[in-house]
Amino acid sequence: MAAGQSGGIDLMKNKRKNILLIAGMLLALLVGILAYSAYTQKQIYQESTANLLSTYGQSAKTFTMFAQRNWNILNDWDSYLGTLAELGEQEGQWQEYIAQKATWQYTDFYLFNEQCEFWTTAGRQGTAMYMKATFEKLYTENKPVISSYISSQGIRKILFAIPMEQPLQLDGTTYTALVVSYDNAVLEKLLGSMVYEGQSDCYIVRSNGDVVLSTETKTEITEQMTNLFDYLQQNASVDQPYFDTMVQTLPQGGEGCVLFTMNGQKYYLIYQPLGLMDWSIIGIVPTGVVDAGMRRVQVATILVIALLGLLIMAGVIKIQRDAERNRRRELERCREKSDMMFEGMVRVVERFAVCDLDRDRYQYHERRGEPLYQPEGSYQQMLEQISRKYVVLTDSENAKIPQMLAPENLRRLIKTDNDSLKLEYAARDKSAFFMMTVVPMAWKENRLTRVMMIVQDMGKQHLLQSLANTDGLTGLLNKRYFDRVLTVLEQHSQPFALFYMDLDRFKPVNDTYGHDVGDKLLKGVSQRLQGCIRSRDYAFRLGGDEFALLLLGPMESEACASKMNLICEMVAVPYEIDGNTVSVGASCGYALYPAESVDVQQVRYIADQRMYENKQANHARQDGAEGI
């Protein structure tokens, strides 16, 4: 039954260990995937930004060249028309413009004035009041302009216009501006609107975001807006830090990329200077159009990493399970071997454990009563369990079970098959006493690898020894044990401080209240003395009202004097016994070994003399107090 329970416990421990291992590996895999995803996301963003800047940079150069070409030609024609007007040959020049229309790809070439009157090379004349706003800047600033408008047929057009150096009069109407216009399809072709599968928008904006020109929108953005920045702030979720950087740097010719989301769709917004006035070109492209290929590679790589991680986890788990299976087989073989080896020991050995020092394992066999330890497990954990429940019975203050049974210490003490280690230990409450004998079992290249720990119950023997070493009235150790402890401490040259103490005014207590009260007083004094020492120190009743304390370890004289005063103060506190308040005093003296003498008998003499001096001083103070 015990072995079955142990197997179940080990199975649960191994199961928990496997779960923790799997959880740790999954967590590491998840962290790795998240780190890789964040890194590749940054790389995709940087590479996409570089590609977009390159693409729209070419569009910006093309548009700038196109605009400059139109202004140059319009300036040339402005001068040429002035010359022809003086000669009266405008009509012939208009025919030349018409002939170049297919090559130039313009829609209309016409003259215009502030009253919105126009005259085209095709001979059309009229008034176009809807274009008044388009030409307002030309007349107010007297500078060339580029603009876009919706024609009377509902077609979006782009125009280039310059103010004429000399007004031109035709058919009684004076014209002050020279204009060439194009269908928006020409602009879209120049700005590369068909790049990225025709799913991109392109804008020419001023530094404050006002839209100067735009292609036909292919995204979620509406055409009915005047300021692109305001529109995005109101209708999209933008990456605010990058958006603010764009707004701040655009007037200084800055370039970069901003991510934003609209109606569930993510977009790249690329911006860079156009090279004309304070204008910039802005491209808006869905992220999936730009980096779909890179993201597919990213997802595929993550899947491969996850698959490899899972395969590695499966391999590690399989290796661990195989190792656990082999360990159990080895333990089972060891158990069978142990059972065979020690079948004949059942009658003489109550309990024993076979311990593998190299593998940190043990097997415990209980032949009587309640098991002291688990049937099998870690050797170090068994030592810790023993240390929590039991203490070594030795006069050395440094004797502790984990140190004494540590593999290094056993190898130091047991060097041949004939060597062994014996130690006595007891429950901390002294309810049980045991004798452990450690004998060698196996060696590897003269190195101890396996031992047997044989445990015998010594309860009755230690009970008799305890009674022989204890004062029957107070429960303190007696003078017999006091002499023995001093001998052992002297043999081991172990430092200690000895305190002698006897009670003052004890005889009047016996005479006044009787011996029963006197005995109870001695018990109360004994309890207070035990409260003055540590668990490793000793308290003795030497006889009558004489006591002794042994404090192990080196001490200074100042500390001893302070301890002596504390002892006297503790003992002098009144006692409540059978309804009587009883008070006694204490005389105390101390001596240090080996600081004051390496001879224990001399140490005892020094302590006794100091106690006598303290008693004389106490009597002098008492006599002085009575004389006042």
User: Amino acid identity, residue 138?
Assistant: L
Q: Which residue has the higher pLDDT, 13 or 607?
A: 607
- Residue 148 inside a domain? The answer is no
Residues 247-292: tens digit of each pLDDT = 999 899 889 999 999 888 899 998 999 887 788 988 888 888 877 6
538 and 586 within one domain: yes
The torsion defined by the Cα of 44, 50, 52 and 57, in degrees rounded to 10, comes to: 180
Residues 137-157: tens digit of each pLDDT = 888 888 888 887 777 777 778
444 and 348 within one domain: yes
Q: Final residue of a domain: which of 439, 463, 487?
A: 463
439 and 497 within one domain: no
Segment 207-231 mean pLDDT = 79
457 and 347 within one domain: yes
628 pLDDT more than 80:
no
> What's residue 459's pLDDT?
60
In this structure, what are the phi and psi dihedrals at residue 373, rounded to the nearest 5 degrees? -135, 175
d(CA 151, CA 137): 19
- Residue 15 inside a domain? The answer is no
Handedness of CA 235, 237, 242, 244 (dihedral sign): positive
In this structure, what are the phi and psi dihedrals at residue 188, rounded to the nearest 5 degrees? -65, -35
Residues 189-214: tens digit of each pLDDT = 766 554 665 677 888 888 898 887 77
Q: Which residues contact 2 (CB under 8 A, 6 or more apart)?
A: 366, 371, 375
- If one counts the domains in the chain, the total is 2
- Read off the tokens for 240: 């605010």
> What's residue 436's pLDDT?
87
- Residue 229 inside a domain? The answer is no
| Radius of gyration of the chain, Cα coordinates, nearest whole angstrom | 53
- Closest Cα partner for 157 from 114, 74, 216? 216
479 and 392 within one domain: no
Q: Which residues contact 216 (CB under 8 A, 6 or more apart)?
A: 156, 184, 188, 193, 223
The torsion defined by the Cα of 183, 189, 193 and 194, in degrees rounded to 10, comes to: 120
d(CA 279, CA 159): 16
Sort strands 201-205 and 156-170 into parallel, antiparallel or unpaired.
unpaired
- Closest Cα partner for 157 from 142, 147, 165, 166? 147
Segment 161-167 mean pLDDT = 88
544 pLDDT more than 80:
yes
| In contact, 435 and 455? CB cutoff 8 Å | yes
- Closest Cα partner for 81 from 128, 44, 121, 129? 121
Give the position of tokens 């109101």.
Answer: 234
Q: Final residue of a domain: which of 463, 479, 494?
A: 463
DSSP state of 431: S
Segment 399-412 mean pLDDT = 88
- Closest Cα partner for 118 from 107, 106, 110? 110
481 pLDDT more than 60:
yes
- Residue 141 inside a domain? The answer is no
- Residue 135 inside a domain? The answer is no
50 pLDDT more than 50:
yes
Residue 369: domain span: 343-463
Domain CATH code at residue 594? 3.30.70.270
> Helix, strand, or coil here: 116?
coil
Per the DSSP assignment, residues forming a β-bridge with 499 are 549, 590
> What's residue 103's pLDDT?
65
Q: Which residue has the higher pLDDT, 81 or 401?
A: 401
535 pLDDT more than 50:
yes
Q: Which stretch of DSSP H or E encloses residue 209?
A: none
Handedness of CA 548, 554, 558, 563 (dihedral sign): negative
Give the position of tokens 């309890």.
Answer: 527
Omega before 407 cis (within 30°)? Answer: no
* pLDDT confidence bin for 465, thresholds 50/70/90: low
> What's residue 100's pLDDT?
64
- Closest Cα partner for 36 from 344, 281, 305, 258? 305
Strand locations in 199-314 (E): 201-205, 211-214, 237-238, 256-262, 265-273, 280-286
452 and 502 within one domain: no
Residues 613-626: tens digit of each pLDDT = 999 998 887 765 55
> What's residue 3's pLDDT?
39
* pLDDT confidence bin for 76, thresholds 50/70/90: confident
In angstroms, how far is the first alpha carbon of the chain from the final one?
Answer: 80
- Residue 102 inside a domain? The answer is no
- Closest Cα partner for 439 from 448, 430, 426? 448
523 and 483 within one domain: yes
Segment 475-479 mean pLDDT = 90
Whether the predicted model's global pTM rises above the 0.75 cut: no
Q: Final residue of a domain: which of 463, 484, 504?
A: 463
Q: Which of 10-14, 84-88, 109-113, 188-192 is most confident? A: 109-113
24 pLDDT more than 50:
yes
Q: How far is CA 441 from CA 238, 308, 329, 356, in A?
A: 76, 46, 20, 9
> What's residue 7's pLDDT?
46
Q: How far is CA 264 from CA 116, 235, 237, 260, 261, in A?
A: 44, 12, 10, 10, 6
- Residue 246 inside a domain? The answer is no
Handedness of CA 248, 250, 255, 257 (dihedral sign): positive
- Residue 312 inside a domain? The answer is no
* pLDDT confidence bin for 1, thresholds 50/70/90: very low
The torsion defined by the Cα of 12, 18, 20 and 22, in degrees rounded to 10, comes to: -150
- Read off the tokens for 572: 């002098």
598 and 490 within one domain: yes
565 and 512 within one domain: yes
Domain CATH code at residue 442? 3.30.450
477 and 393 within one domain: no
Give the position of tokens 């309804």.
Answer: 579
| In contact, 280 and 19? CB cutoff 8 Å | no
396 and 369 within one domain: yes
Q: 512-518 — which CB contacts under 8 Å span 24+ positions? A: 513/577, 513/578, 513/580, 513/582, 516/578, 517/577, 517/578, 517/580, 517/582
618 and 479 within one domain: yes
